[in-house]
Amino acid sequence: MRRVTLTQFLIEQQRAGRMTADLRLLLEVVARAAKAISVNVSKGALAGLLGEAGTDNVQGEAQKKLDVIANEILLQANEWGGHLAAMASEEVETVHQIPFDYPTGGFLLLFDPLDGSSNIDVNISVGMIFSVLRMPPSEQRATEESFMQPGREQVAAGYALFGPSTMFVLTIGHGVHAFTLDREMGSFIYTQPFMTIPEETREFAINASNARFWEKPVQRYIDELQQGKAGPRGVDFNMRWVASMVADVHRVLTRGGIFMYPMDEKCRHQGGKLRLMYEANPMAMLVEQAGGAASTGRERILDVQPHKLHQRVPVILGSRAEVERVNDYYREA
């Protein structure tokens, strides 16, 4: 059986006119950075990489040592290639400009370098999320305003999952494609073409400890699921929650279901829990490309107009019928 590498896949997409050479090279650099992060994650305590870094990120959250390392790997890998006008990281307050001694390009890269890092010390799956936008052609130098584009303008999005195997999951607007790292070869191998979210589902992912803070439509929806066969849905549902968005969304992409981090009274003052530009937009693009839906409960995530780099939003995504049911409950409320 012919084994197709990520590089071969991207070259074929370029030849088919679905992407430019610069975008292909950019995605290859991101994938190489993902491999370097995977190596560091897998070392864990052996390399003294567990525990707190002793610093906070821009959101005031305590950083893990691997948060800092993963962020530096992505910044350094992408600075010099000439494909980017600028970068933005969830871990850094301002736009990261390309150093003056390197050429710049026509794309903007955003990333969450290590999603779910609270799981590192207990050896549970974590990930990396990225999003690619075009640099506005009318601008000479990238600023924060250059990044203020709704998610529907993304030209590529994806994530790396650092679990029992390392995976790289990608969309360039023509379906969702998954690659598994062959550690002996050092290459990502094409293992799951055109991932599609199953329409039927009996799983949901939500942080149930926040139930008392949820809005009424979410309480109604989750209550129906928890009633199981005795309730209006007539089937039993299972709850799954990893507290790593990459791991939870990967399960939804693979097995169907719904992932929710909705608006609640704890996070209302900041607009939601998850970051629009680094988490919600790239995951929403992937989910929609896989046949699902992604909403804030009030509007399509990919239509949200950003107004700041670290903006937060509610997130409800997964199997289309389930997301639409939640949206209906919001409309009724």
What distance in Å separates the CA atoms of residue 81 and residue 330, rounded to the nearest whole number? 45
What pLDDT score was predicted for residue 151? 98
What pLDDT score was predicted for residue 244? 94
182 marked as binding residue: no
What pLDDT score was predicted for residue 117? 79
What pLDDT score was predicted for residue 199? 85
116 marked as binding residue: yes
What pLDDT score was predicted for residue 123? 84
114 marked as binding residue: yes
207 marked as binding residue: yes
117 marked as binding residue: yes
What pLDDT score was predicted for residue 180? 98
64 marked as binding residue: no
CA dihedral for 44, 244, 5, 85, sign (positive or negative): negative
28 marked as binding residue: no
112 marked as binding residue: yes
What distance in Å separates the CA atoms of residue 99 and residue 119, rounded to the nearest whole number? 33
What pLDDT score was predicted for residue 267? 93
Cβ-based burial of 2 (10 A; exposed 0-12, middle 13-18, buried ≥19): exposed
Helices 21-43/65-79 angle, 10° precision: 150
User: Among residues of the chain, what percentage have pLDDT more than 90?
Assistant: 86
What pLDDT score was predicted for residue 43? 81
* 61-67 contacts, C-beta under 8 A, 24 or more apart: 63/91, 63/117, 64/114, 64/117, 64/118, 64/120, 64/121, 66/40, 66/41, 66/114, 66/117, 66/120, 66/126, 67/91, 67/113, 67/114, 67/117
Helices 6-15/21-43 angle, 10° precision: 160
Domains located in the chain, CATH noted? 6-192 (3.30.540.10), 203-332 (3.40.190.80)
List CB contacts of 162: < 8 A, sequence separation 6 or more: 37, 38, 41, 42, 125, 126, 127, 128
Parts of the chain with a pLDDT under 50? none
What pLDDT score was predicted for residue 54? 52
